[in-house]
Copies of this chain bind each other. A is one copy, B any other.
Amino acid sequence: MAALAQEHRLEVYRRLMQAGPEGMAAGEIASALGIAPNTLSFHFDRLRHAGLVSVARKGRSLIYAARYETMSNLLGYLTQNCCGGRPELCAPAVCKPTKPARKRQRENVG
């Protein structure tokens, strides 16, 4: 989770999300965001280690792409562990745009 707690990494990740499954070349992101390539490489390492991005070589460029599943897991973790037992307090902000209707639920907390 700490991987997204840094401005540059968050920017990078958002760009990759916008780029979609095709991803973007490292240099492309570097020039788009104005980050030095080696600095960006450092951040990529963090993102990759956190499982937030995947990488594949294409020619002489390395293509990075966001891993949606990990973000999904992160959101699930936050709602389960941080809002656990009281999802009605946190879920609305996330679920509202998709489906505002909720039922009551009962969940035990260790």
Contacts and interface: CB of A to CB of B under 8 A. Distances in A.
- In order of increasing CB-CB distance, the 4 nearest A-B pairs are A5-B5, A2-B5, A76-B93, A68-B89
Interface stretch (A22-30, A35-43, A94-102): A94-102
Given A75-B75, A78-B75, A91 B95 contact: yes
Interface residues of A, number: 46
Count of this chain's copies in the oligomeric assembly: 2
A86 B20 CA distance: 9
Tell me the dominant secondary structure on chain A's binding face: helix
Interface of A: 1-2, 4-6, 10, 13-14, 17-18, 20, 68-69, 71-76, 78-87, 89-95, 97-99, 101-103, 105, 107, 109-110
